[in-house]
Amino acid sequence: MNPAAIDLFRLFTEVGAVPGEDFSWDLARQSYHLNERCFTLLQAAYPDMAWDEVFADAEPDNSAAVEDLHKTLGLPFIDRLAARMALRLPELPDPQAAGYIQVIFGGVTAATGVDLYPFVVEQLGMAGHVRLEWLLRQEELVVPDDTWLFDLMEAAGAPQTEFSFQAGEVWLDEAGLTRLSQIWQGDYVVGQE
């Protein structure tokens, strides 16, 4: 056990929790499992501590939303989009990359409830992950033409008949608008054919 795990063990036992009954250590996942009694004992011993925040999931469980979305679309949209984003990001200068990420992340989360971040990180190497973190903190951003919309529609399996580029603008037919509303929500003007 690492020093942090030993400190937690001491903390739990000092408040009266019983090892093996109220908490346990999962070696494989490097995590503790606490029951309600242990949590209540911690809250009583340290009432000023925001224990709900301390023990909150680090990443939301997207699995049900992802499964539903994939079933609705008939393809692994999130996986396809994350892969497309990982390929596209190195091509874009920083201000455009920051805009690209923020438009897609915000719109997909708003429409689907799925946090794309862990899926994109999984596709990136260490340098790509570091750049992603930096890009997410940028205030200067430029939405890169309609590249983001093209990537969204392609990842969603839209045929070329549902969207097209005309005179520098993206045009969507009714099926394209329906598909877009399933995967993205936000403020952006698109033409309808």
Structural domains of the chain, count: 2
Does residue 151 share a domain with residue 67? Answer: yes
The pLDDT of residue 76: 97
Largest Cα span, the chain: 70
Residue 182, pLDDT score = 93
- Are 67 and 47 found together in one domain? no
Looking at the structure, tell me whether residues 99 and 187 fall in a common domain: yes
Positive or negative, the Cα torsion across 26, 28, 29, 30?
positive
CA angle 16, 19, 20 (to 5 degrees): 135
Q: What does the chain come to in residues?
A: 193
Residue 29 pLDDT grade (very low, low, confident, very high; cuts 50, 70, 90): low
In this structure, are 73 and 41 located in the same domain?
A: no
pLDDT one-digit tens code per residue, 81-90: 999 999 999 9
Condensed to tens digits (0 to 9), the pLDDT of residues 30-60 reads 566 788 898 899 889 888 777 776 666 555 5
Domain of residue 177: give its range.
63-192
pLDDT at res. 191 = 43
Q: Is 10 exposed, middle or buried (0-12, 13-18, 19+ CB in 10 A)?
A: exposed
Q: Of 36, 54, 72, at which residue does a domain stop? A: 54
Three-state DSSP class for residue 170: strand
